[in-house]
Structure 1
Amino acid sequence: MTKTTKNFIYGLLAAIIVAALYFAMPQVTDPDPAYGVELQKSDAISTETVAAIDDYLETESEHVEVIMAVLDGTSIYEYGDTTRIMNGASTRKAVLSLLYGIAIDQGLIDLDKTLAELNIDENTPLTEQEKTATIRDLLMARSGIYLPAEGEHDAQITDRPARGSHLPGEFFFSNNFDYNALGTIFIQETGQPIGQFMEKYLAEPLGMQDFDADNVVMGDPWFMPNNGSRHEMYYMYTSARDFARIGAMVANNGMWDGKQVVPAAWIELSTSPLSALTNSGRYTASGYIWWIDENTNTVWTDGYGGHYMLIDPARNLTVVMRTFSGNSYLSTGLWLARSDRNAAHPKYMVHAYEMMIAELDARG
């Protein structure tokens, strides 16, 4: 073997090693913020009920990696690794709704400003009619703007209404243009990146243990095709224990540890049934990017791949479910290659929730 051949082989091996390390590198590392506070635990449900839920999940559920429940601000049930950081997919939208509530309270955002007033446009230019949509319309998914957007899938594509078919404010359609443009507007109006604002005004007051500003990633870091929109997605990576804190704060009317983190009036408004839904499965209505089940008086957010949060305000109870969907090119690619990547059905979380409240309600 010649020296030139050896050098080529060594160079090729080095390139393969570097590429492997790059593709395996996590998008978000595991922070340990100084403001993190350990979540207290309580025995509000019996060891028998805990064991029964564990047995159910281990024998019946598919691909559920984590379930956690928080009652009155204390952890009452944990299944799986609650510290692992995961991309929450569309659960990002409900979290942004909370950040809007904080920013509005600070006088930074006016819900009734139009896209024209905000100078918000699109690479496919918006019409004068579309520019009359307000921030409020976008929060209710009623912009009347039906253009391709980053991260959309399934019904967002196949059921998209014809452009110009509805006026802003008059028709609900779960539309990623609205949700992504809200991210653009938030950054523009507050003058701060979403991650930075979220860390200061949500993560720090809640004592989140696995979060910093870098947990919010702007733009698609992985494999989703670019749809030609100027409005980027915003990915939020949280652990189950931090995600559950957010829900527990909502369940307690925006309060955490005796402090009002999100205005109570915003919690009430944003989780109210503002848009009635039909043929939407478990949800009967939508608020400001929250899903609502009026039959059980619960509030939800969900994300593709097995990310769910169920909030029961009457019981001050939150239950979350998480499934890992990747945090690098390699792990995300492996997850995307799975045909069962959306098999973690919320029915498993709901069954666990029902077992919990059966005991809680029986105790009175």
Structure 2
Amino acid sequence: MTRRPAAAAAFTVRYLARKMIAPRRPASLAEIGLFTGAPQHENLMRIDELAPVRRMPASTSPAPWPAGPPISLPASYAFEGSTKSTEQFLADTDTAALLVLVDGQLRFERYLLTGGPAVNWLSMSVAKSFISALVGIAMDDGHIADIDRAISDYVPVEPGSAYDGVSIRNVLQMSSGARWNEDYHDPASDVHRLTQAMMGRRGGLDGFVARMATESAPGTVCRYNSGETQILGALIAHAVGRSVSEYMTDKLVEPLGFESPSFWVTDLLGTEMSYAGLNLTARDFARLGELYRNNGMWQGRQIVSAEWVRVSTTINSPIREPGRPIVGDHGIDLGYGYQWWIPAGDKGDFSAIGVLNQLVYVNPARATTIVKLSANRRYGTSSSEETNRDLENVEFLRAIAESIE
């Protein structure tokens, strides 16, 4: 029986309410001016006013960070042979939050623009590292038998499409062989088309990745691809039988003592935007970094296996060595693990990184985790380091870690 329009609208509102999703149309990138040079700090702190979301409560046992002796930031840092001003860099990249933990103690915390200790900020691709952790936890829980199994054993995809028969491991390593263009300054690129799928047409986000095409043999090219993380989110949901938000609430939010309520952006069908849609405070973003710095252990409890942390933050193939991963139309001088970036130089550090300069940087040798949340308005206006400043952000955070005594 076909519903009349009014009845259909009422049904949609009831459905979204049951799913804890705000019944609003996702804002398009064009509407908020993303990758156009327009300021973004007013948008990144109010995403739940712009798009449907699925909310997560704070932990029932919140764990505020203990305060340690305050530190000062170095006044300058070195990048590509030049000495750069810290204050100028913070301003130029529209920094909203900078938080430094050393040995689990809060040693530095500063907010600018629209940032604040209780402000949820859009993760962009920092979400990818959270999804990777949830895949590892699902492995530990026995929901996923083996990451060398095909992801299509768990997630429905079209026969012959990019993820049909491709191993979960290859997807984790951005090496599925799927055809993809992650150019942020190209409005016709695949990453923009994936975002447009949030309108819910043709199966929404999950429908989009289920139809993607193959370009190369799996395991032969490391091509950064937000679609890989979206299907990993689908893997979690299908393997566990719960939404990404519900599983994250139980497996990360609750045991790690998240202090603030948070949320995931969803498409209009209620599917989490797994590749970029997590919204947390800086203090709660830091919890994943600290968990990984401590090899998956949190206050005496193993949240995710130490082996998963090790392989996730290790480069195991020449195609993932710094300089080899392809982002859009160019290589980048960072290596890749399981949805974590590994800087060049073999210093043992690693980072979750999102566009507009979101980072959760971990330096185990210095016992340091740093969160930088930003709204770099120039990001994506070209594909160059000059505007995007991905490598410079890593070197800046490295300099902070190395300055701590």
- What is the CA deviation profile of residues 104-152 of structure 1, one whole-angstrom value per residue up to 9, with x for unaligned ones? 001001312214433531xxx441785220111111111122268xx87
Computed over aligned residues only, the root mean square deviation of the Cα atoms, in angstroms, reads 3.8
Amino acid at match of 2:149: K
Larger Rg: 1
After TM superposition, the score normalised by the length of structure 1 is 0.72
C-alpha change, 1:36 and 1:131, in structure 2 (3 Å) is: same
d(CA) in 2 for partners of 1:282, 1:129: 26
- What is the CA deviation profile of residues 180-207 of structure 1, one whole-angstrom value per residue up to 9, with x for unaligned ones? 1111111001101111111111111111
- Please name the residue that 1:35 is paired with: 61
- Please name the residue that 1:167 is paired with: 217
d(CA) in 2 for partners of 1:188, 1:265: 24
Q: Which runs of 5 or more residues in structure 2 are unaligned? A: 1-23, 28-42, 77-84, 192-211, 325-330
Structure 1 residue ranges, 4+ long, deviating more than 6 angstroms after superposition? 22-25, 335-340
Of the three residues 217, 228, 232, the one matched with 2:265 is 217
Counterpart mapping for 1:175-186 below 5 A? 175-186=225-236
d(CA) in 1 for partners of 2:127, 2:254: 18
- Please name the residue that 2:238 is paired with: 188
d(CA) in 1 for partners of 2:171, 2:394: 30
Higher normalized helix content (fraction of residues): 1
Residue 76 (str. 1) matches residue 124 (str. 2): no
- Please name the residue that 1:317 is paired with: 368
- Please name the residue that 1:227 is paired with: none
Of the three residues 142, 146, 160, the one matched with 2:179 is 146
C-alpha change, 1:255 and 1:30, in structure 2 (3 Å) is: closer
Residue 292 of structure 1 deviates from its aligned partner by: 0.4
Residue 281 of structure 1 deviates from its aligned partner by: 3.8
After TM superposition, the score normalised by the length of structure 2 is 0.66
Give the stretch that moved more between structures: 312-321 or 87-96: 312-321
Amino acid at match of 1:142: S
- Please name the residue that 1:114 is paired with: 150
- Please name the residue that 1:358 is paired with: 403
SS at match of 2:127: helix
Residue 137 (str. 1) matches residue 170 (str. 2): yes
Contact 1:220 1:233 in 2 (8 A): no
C-alpha change, 1:320 and 1:349, in structure 2 (3 Å) is: farther
Of the three residues 269, 276, 300, the one matched with 2:321 is 276
Of the three residues 191, 206, 211, the one matched with 2:256 is 206
Task: Give me the identity figure in percent.
Answer: 22
Residue 344 of structure 1 deviates from its aligned partner by: 7.7
The count of corresponding residues between Structure 1 and Structure 2 is: 308
C-alpha change, 1:163 and 1:100, in structure 2 (3 Å) is: closer
- What is the CA deviation profile of residues 132-173 of structure 1, one whole-angstrom value per residue up to 9, with x for unaligned ones? 20111111111122268xx873589489xx954421222211
SS at match of 1:79: strand
d(CA) in 2 for partners of 1:118, 1:196: 18
Residue 243 (str. 1) matches residue 285 (str. 2): yes
d(CA) in 1 for partners of 2:388, 2:260: 23
Q: Which runs of 5 or more residues in structure 1 are unaligned? A: 1-18, 222-229, 326-334
